[in-house]
Structure 1
Amino acid sequence: MSNNLAQTIKLAFGSEGGWSNHPADPGGATKYGITASTLGVARDLRRKATPDEVRALSLSEAAQILDKQYAQPLRYAELPPGLDYALFDFSVNSGPAQAVRILQRILVVEVDGIVGVKTLNAIRDRNLAGLIDKLQDARLRFLKGLKTWPTFGKGWSIRVEHVRSSALKMAAGISTVAPAPPEGRQTASPRDVKVSSTPAGKGTITATIGTAGAAIGAAKDSLQPLTSNGGFADTMFTVLIAGGVALTVIGLAVVTYQQIRHRETAA
């Protein structure tokens, strides 16, 4: 049973990079591997997310989406290490159903795009390193058949080979590192990702992802209605950032500030 989803998501962030809106990309506006369509579904918008909404996507929310909409349909936690990453990255790149169908053809089981008991049993009967290699070969053949291959083929080839190398290392119990982001994309390098992939619809993120700045900024914004000027809030949050204090301390800062305001009002 796999327990390395956090590492896998970090690797996927590295492969995907940050914000992108390439005119030749059918997915359109994309950030951390999350397209406008995927974000719209995740937020139940009943429409595609706007480019601005995609651009504002946080690493934390992206990780939750990758867990719920990609890892869980793959029954990620039941896959062997290495294959879990290889199938997950393929899924993020080309969709879960497509990735699973190609794996099922390799396994010679019913091709329905759904990871079930028969698929899992067939995986257990195969040589893990050989299966990872065959999946990456099949993935590359699939990508070469896409009309966008002339535009993105070079980057996809590099990505597939990095996934192959990393997945084989993971299968052998060897640590690996995130790849450099694709050319033209921002770096997406979360410092810490802790994810618990549970049955469908119940994925949870159990720790912060990336820098604390965005979360702290949002918390500071929520604090502003308590004061007519942001002096105290700015000072408090600057101290928190500089000191690297855990985000849970923000609650204490809010309570302290409310007490100060209460005393001032009473006076």
Structure 2
Amino acid sequence: MSITFDEVFERCMGHEGGYVNHPDDPGGETIWGITIATARANGYTGAMRYMKRDQAKEIYRKAYWQRAKCTQYNSAIGYQMFDAAVNHGIGNAIRILQRAVGVADDGLVGQMTLGAINEKSLDDVLVLFNAERLEFYAKLKTFQTFGRGWTRRVASNLRYTAGDTP
């Protein structure tokens, strides 16, 4: 099964919501899961609370899907990488994937990383990747505040994994 960007976006919207400006969130003002910094870096100049869903979709496509090069992976891995990039940043998402497949976590996807991915079964890569995400979350100082939602996000992604693999 090949997962399209449209499907990836819809899944992400299941994790992300409307306008939020939580005082403990280092991302500050957020809508559709997009922080104000990411919105501004991608050309959105309006008030955050009024960003349209289709505007958010294009930011997601450009700032995460394309920049994280999600299409270079099997689409099941591409989805997980996209979701992690949205939630952790692209560099952290890549390092999480690298730790999952047992290579140096330098934040750069090259032949070693791609080779290590291909040496493991798809199921192993996906489960190990999500396990690394949980470890990453648990180390964050904001885990007490946001940890329940983050662990639900990973649980949901593990359910997608079950349907995304043959």
Settle same-fold status: TM greater than 0.5. yes
- Alignment pair present for 1:124 and 2:118: yes
- Residues 1-267 of structure 1: pairs in structure 2 closer than 5 A: 3-43=3-43, 53-172=47-166
Q: CA deviation at 1:139?
A: 0.4
Aligned residue pairs total: 166
Contact 1:74 1:114 in 2 (8 A): no
Task: Give, in whole Å, the separation in 1 of the partners of 2:108 and 2:140.
Answer: 23
Runs of 4+ in 1 over 3 A off after TM superposition: none
1:15/1:71 Cα in 2 relative to 1: closer, same or farther (>3 Å)? same
Q: CA deviation at 1:21?
A: 0.9
Q: Which fold has the larger relative contact order, with Cα–Cα distance below 8 Å and residues 6 or more apart in sequence?
A: 1
SS in 2 for 1:21: coil
Task: Give, in whole Å, the separation in 2 of the partners of 1:6 and 1:116.
Answer: 27
Where in structure 1 are there 5+ consecutive unaligned residues? 173-267
Contact 1:2 1:84 in 2 (8 A): no
TM score, norm. by length of structure 1: 0.58
1:79/1:2 Cα in 2 relative to 1: closer, same or farther (>3 Å)? farther
Task: Give, in whole Å, the separation in 2 of the partners of 1:117 and 1:2.
Answer: 23
- Greater percentage in helix: 2
Task: Give, in whole Å, the separation in 1 of the partners of 2:137 and 2:103.
Answer: 22
Task: Give, in whole Å, the separation in 2 of the partners of 1:2 and 1:122.
Answer: 21
Contact 2:103 2:113 in 1 (8 A): yes
Q: CA deviation at 1:2?
A: 5.0
Q: CA deviation at 1:3?
A: 4.8
Q: CA deviation at 1:56?
A: 1.2
Task: Give, in whole Å, the separation in 1 of the partners of 2:104 and 2:28.
Answer: 33
RMSD: 1.8
Task: Give, in whole Å, the separation in 2 of the partners of 1:12 and 1:3.
Answer: 13
Task: Give, in whole Å, the separation in 1 of the partners of 2:63 and 2:53.
Answer: 15
Q: Percent identity?
A: 36
Task: Give, in whole Å, the separation in 2 of the partners of 1:95 and 1:168.
Answer: 25
Task: Give, in whole Å, the separation in 2 of the partners of 1:3 and 1:160.
Answer: 18
TM score, norm. by length of structure 2: 0.91
